[in-house]
Amino acid sequence: MSTASITNDRESLSLCLRTPESTADAATVASMLHALVVLVDETNNRVGDGRAISIRVRPFEEGSLEIPFELIVYAGGGLLAINSLASKILKTIQQVVDLRKSLKGKPPESPSDRHVDQSPSVINSGDNVAIYIIQNPQVNAALHQAFVEVEKDTAIESVQIIDNSTREEIINIERQEFPYFKHLEVGENEEIPEERFRVVRAQLIVHTPVLAGRGKWKFIYEGATIWASMADESYLERVRGRAEQFGAGDRLVVDLEIVEKYNSSTSAYQRTGQYVVRTVLTHSPPPAKYKQRGLFDE
């Protein structure tokens, strides 16, 4: 096997919160990291080629609030493309940030219905990708919460992503631009619903399937454990008929319903912990890198 076929595609980067105090509230840092994870995941869903991706945070450097991390795309069986997927993801995120800045908080024009109805592999070029990501509720909620928190810390002057190998500034969002990355749920004169139901395209790692009865399945979603009801009857029939077999680390791509409640203190919706798998789209084994590992190995 050639070396190129097993080499991981990675970019070494830093999330930078520019502040002379070299410190910030932990909730602010956590919200910004969460927004980054969601943004990378959703972008990979649109421009990726099916390979798994992860963000690994490296140790803090002394006397700095620069957060080194690595964006790793796990190699598949074939040769890696000359233009790396990690670079493609970063370029797309740059376009998303630039578009949010240019819109100054206003909603973008929607892509045509022809594009909206197509699969992520079809929506893979130009402004349509950036518009889709900007309109993605999961991305919006994560960015909104992150910039609500970061705006509270008046010492933070900007948010940056820096290429550690070249020290090139990939993304820079100044304090006066923070409001462009928040969003209003409704108009000023409209009543804000206390509870809402969102359906998102999600990748779930199967922890504990329910092979009989109506119990909730246990999954890993965005790094956290969740319990979700399985509402896809046709998939349940396949499970009961033993047409679906499960192994450690198996993934399901699903349409996931998330129940959220409005939090007036943050002006954002927050998850209640209630989830329903509406439709199972694909069932796949874990990436080859993890097939021979235990559930709790690093």
CA 295 distance to own-chain centroid:
22
Average pLDDT of the chain, as a whole number: 77
Q: How confident is the model at residue 4 (pLDDT cuts 50, 70, 90)?
A: very low
Q: How confident is the model at residue 22 (pLDDT cuts 50, 70, 90)?
A: confident
Task: Give the SS3 label for residue 100.
Answer: helix
Residue 290's closest CA among 8, 49, 81?
8
Please say if the pLDDT value at position 87 is more than 80.
Answer: yes
Asked whether the beta carbons of 135 and 108 are under 8 A apart, the reply is yes
Please say if the pLDDT value at position 55 is more than 50.
Answer: yes
Q: How confident is the model at residue 61 (pLDDT cuts 50, 70, 90)?
A: low
pLDDT digits (tens, 9 = 90+) for 163-176: 888 888 899 999 99
DSSP one-letter code for 15: E
pLDDT digits (tens, 9 = 90+) for 166-225: 888 899 999 999 989 987 544 444 566 788 888 888 899 999 998 877 889 999 998 889
pLDDT given for residue 184 in this prediction: 52
Q: Delineate the domains of the chain, giving CATH numbers in brackets.
A: 3-181 (no CATH), 195-290 (2.40.50)
| Most distant CA pair in the chain, distance | 63
Please say if the pLDDT value at position 138 is more than 80.
Answer: no
Positive/negative CA dihedral, 15, 71, 33, 106: positive
